[in-house]
């Protein structure tokens, strides 16, 4: 069963064909990073216009060598995300479904991130292994830091979330404070490589709660930088360590508490090799993490998620709407 996935929730226009929820046939991502970088963040109006310009060429490229008769369903991200950006993808997906008669699945972007692990992943053993339920999912992206227990396909129970900044958002803000540009995650990871994590920064443990908070560490760094006492590389390394310490400790504690068989990492922050490496090295529970290009936004994860949704009979209709604030669990 081949699914065409389409993703336009934020600043990547993406389309992909995935077979049986795991084999990537094509995976095209047109990033708008260069366009938004000069503004220091995503400009929603600019993003939706750019999606309009690139969505058809991106889908054509993903469909190269394939015909609509070869495709068994369309999976489209309908939330959460930027309303104007989501609208471009959802309306085009509905038009394709209407023209071809193919079934349509409206996909939760957060659930799609988790399904990147069904495409390809690293583990401590170096082997691909089967995902085992229940598994503990940590989704760390630009908009979310969510801990969820996944009890089966499409069955999620929320255990914790960020109370303020998402992990990726904190990376982006910290990078701006350090003058490292946008997007902040890759810039901090690169700069941290030449620094030492010698600066004490706070960690928000929140009395053992499964929730996260990253605004305090960001503000502490702002004060340090304003006093002009620190090297940028040391600050980047110390910030990355502070975020990693909290993510690793809280996720492992939640996995033990919920008796999860595995930990599944996903979202843009999981592309950070230092953070992913800490999980792989320290967790007593097996950890799966997708390769970096499948952690950040892409449509292959949407197609993989769509396969399981369509198999479960979860189809959308032509009146499907965008849900910018859609949650999971």
Q: Give the interface with ligand KG4 as residue ranges (CB under 6 A).
A: 10, 141-143, 168-169, 171-172, 183-186, 189, 267-269, 271-272, 296-297
Strand order in the sheet with 287-288: 155-161, 145-152, 135-140, 262-266, 287-288
Q: What are phi and psi of 16, to 5 degrees?
A: -155, 150
Shortest CB 230 distance to Zn ion, Å: 31
Helix pair angle (184-192, 167-177), 10° resolution: 70
Shortest CB 23 distance to Zn ion, Å: 22
Give the closest residue to 184 by CA, choosing from 193, 194, 171, 165.
Answer: 171
Shortest CB 271 distance to ligand KG4, Å: 4
Cis geometry, peptide bond prior to residue 182 (ω within 30 degrees of 0): no
Nearer to Zn ion, 238 or 266 (CB): 266
Shortest CB 143 distance to ligand KG4, Å: 5
Contact status: 8 vs Zn ion (CB under 5 A): no
Shortest CB 99 distance to ligand KG4, Å: 29
Shortest CB 85 distance to ligand KG4, Å: 11
Q: Could you tell me the two tokens for 28?
A: 């095209």
Nearer to Zn ion, 111 or 234 (CB): 111
Shortest CB 183 distance to ligand KG4, Å: 4
Which of ligand KG4, Zn ion, none does residue 172 bind (CB under 5 to 8 Å by kind)?
A: ligand KG4
Contact status: 297 vs Zn ion (CB under 5 A): yes
Nearer to Zn ion, 235 or 295 (CB): 295
Report CA-CA distances (Å) from 43 to 32, 36, 40, 302, 315.
10, 6, 9, 23, 32
Nearer to Zn ion, 169 or 297 (CB): 297
Nearer to ligand KG4, 185 or 286 (CB): 185
Contact status: 12 vs Zn ion (CB under 5 A): no
Q: Could you tell me the two tokens for 88?
A: 């471009």
Nearer to ligand KG4, 146 or 172 (CB): 172
Shortest CB 66 distance to ligand KG4, Å: 26
Which of ligand KG4, Zn ion, none does residue 271 bind (CB under 5 to 8 Å by kind)?
A: ligand KG4
146-175 residues near Zn ion, rule: CB under 5 A: none
Which of Zn ion, ligand KG4, none does residue 303 bind (CB under 5 to 8 Å by kind)?
A: none
Which of Zn ion, ligand KG4, none does residue 185 bind (CB under 5 to 8 Å by kind)?
A: ligand KG4
What residues have CB less than 8 Å from 146, skipping those under 6 apart? Answer: 110, 137, 138, 139, 158, 160, 161, 162, 328, 329
Nearer to Zn ion, 7 or 234 (CB): 7
Measured distance CA(67)–CA(52) in Å, rounded: 22
Locus of tokens 């963040």: 41
Give the closest residue to 208 by CA, choosing from 150, 254, 164, 166.
Answer: 254
Three-state secondary structure call for residue 151 = strand
Is-contact 131 118, C-beta < 8 A? yes
118-147 residues near Zn ion, rule: CB under 5 A: 141
- Strand 135-140 and strand 262-266: the pairing is parallel
179 Ramachandran zone, left/alpha/beta (phi>0; psi -120 to 50): left
> Contact residues for Zn ion (CB under 5 A)?
141, 297
């Amino acid at each position: 069963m081949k699914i065409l996935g389409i993703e336009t929730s934020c600043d990547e226009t993406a389309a992909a064909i995935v077979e049986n929820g795991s084999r990537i046939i094509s995976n095209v991502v047109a990033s708008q990073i260069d366009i938004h970088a000069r503004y220091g963040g995503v400009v929603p109006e600019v993003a939706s216009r750019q999606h309009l310009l690139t969505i058809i060429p991106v889908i054509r490229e993903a469909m190269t060598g394939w015909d609509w008769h070869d495709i068994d369903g369309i999976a489209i991200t309908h939330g959460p995300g930027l309303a104007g950006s989501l609208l471009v993808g959802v309306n085009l997906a509905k038009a394709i479904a209407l023209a071809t008669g193919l079934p349509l699945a409206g996909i939760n972007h957060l659930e799609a991130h988790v399904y990147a692990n069904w495409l390809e992943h690293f583990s401590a053993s170096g082997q691909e292994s089967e995902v085992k339920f229940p598994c503990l999912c940590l989704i760390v992206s630009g908009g979310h830091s969510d801990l969820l227990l996944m009890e089966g396909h499409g069955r999620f129970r929320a255990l914790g979330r960020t109370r303020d900044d998402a992990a990726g958002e904190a990376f982006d803000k910290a990078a701006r404070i350090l003058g490292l540009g946008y997007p902040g995650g890759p810039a901090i990871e690169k700069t941290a490589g030449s620094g030492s994590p010698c600066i004490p920064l706070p960690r928000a443990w929140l009395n053992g709660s499964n929730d996260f908070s990253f605004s305090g560490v960001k503000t502490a760094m702002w004060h340090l930088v304003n006093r002009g006492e620190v090297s940028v590389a040391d600050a980047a390394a110390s910030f990355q360590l502070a975020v990693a310490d909290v993510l690793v400790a809280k996720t492992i504690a939640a996995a033990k508490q919920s008796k999860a068989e595995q930990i599944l990492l996903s979202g843009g922050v999981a592309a950070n090799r230092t953070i992913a490496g800490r999980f792989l090295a320290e967790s007593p529970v097996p950890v799966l993490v997708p390769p970096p290009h499948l952690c950040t936004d892409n449509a292959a994860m949407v197609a993989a998620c769509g396969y399981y949704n369509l198999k479960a009979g979860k189809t959308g209709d032509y009146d499907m709407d965008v849900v910018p604030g859609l949650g999971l669990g």
